[in-house]
Amino acid sequence: MDIARLFDVKGKTALVTGGSGGIGYMIATALVQAGCRVVICSRKQTDIEAAADRLRAFGAVTAIAADIATEAGVAKVAAAVNGAGPLHILVNNAGTSWGAPIDRFPRAGFEKVLQLNLLAPFEMTKAMLPALRAAGTAEDPARIINIASIDGMQVPQWESYPYSATKAGIIHMGRHMGKFLADDHISVNTIAPGFFPSKMTASVVDLDNEADMAAAASPLGGRIGMAEDIGGAVIYLSSRAGAWLSGVTIPVGGGRGTIDN
């Protein structure tokens, strides 16, 4: 057993959707600092370029501005990635939320969340299969890592119906994909994060408010998530240490949604 290389991902190529901020940016940071060539995509050109500029201090980073909730956006990313060689790691992270009382919940809001949180990861995975198949081997499969949420494993505090439904859906969809992609040497696993700081979570939790922070804090450590928490989970699943896992969901929330539910 080569312990020194157990968590080594140097030289791999990774694509992180929604990589301009929040959890996606944390994941991209971990991967590029670990020696991966990283491609990040996000909807807004200025945001994704700014993120890439910061990340290039650590290594090779490519930025693609694309709305992957659309067919054109998926096709744009696929054209750039599939033409650049094997893809060892696909992180389906891009997501959104919408909250409203059930009797006033707009159909358009539900459809928006469904499209980005569930349909987009499916379409992105489908589009990246040529590059993933080119990367995977029996000893070192290509990795698909879907980012769900502990709200896909528990009933949330808020009336965010499509968010919890799509996050539960991506957990099971990952297991389903894993079954049918195993012969292609592609593993599919899911991370279900607890509370991490991001633009999306800022809409429901004020980090400067003591009561909000107390409500968001995890049972383990009494804190919210940090870059090392999500980055470590992704590195584990992407390295030799996680090479024999598929169909697994790892809650990364300090016990939130697991030991407190």
Set 25, 161, 163, 236: catalytic member: 163
Any domain includes 257: no
Number of domains in the chain: 1
Any domain includes 62: yes
pLDDT band at 14, cuts 50/70/90?
very high
Any domain includes 52: yes
The residue-averaged pLDDT of 233-238 equals 98
- Domain extent for 63: 3-252
Q: What is the mean pLDDT of the chain?
A: 94
- The SS3 call for residue 158 is coil
Residue 210 scores a pLDDT above 80: no
- And the tokens for 102? 């059930």
pLDDT band at 101, cuts 50/70/90?
very high
Any domain includes 216: yes
CATH code for position 80: 3.40.50.720
pLDDT tens readout for residues 173-202? 999 999 999 999 999 999 999 999 877 766
Asked whether the whole model's pTM tops 0.85, one would answer yes
Residue 209 scores a pLDDT above 90: no
Residue 123 — φ and ψ, nearest 5°? -70, -35
| Percent over 70 (pLDDT), the chain | 95
Any domain includes 261: no
> Residue 115: its pLDDT value, please?
98
pLDDT tens readout for residues 124-137? 999 999 999 999 99
Any domain includes 258: no
Any domain includes 260: no
Any domain includes 85: yes
CA distances from 103 to 39, 99, 112, 159, 258 (A): 41, 12, 18, 11, 30
> Residue 143: its pLDDT value, please?
98
- Quick check: is 163 catalytic? yes
74-84 in b/e burial notation, b at 16+ Cβ within 10 A? Answer: bebbbeebbee
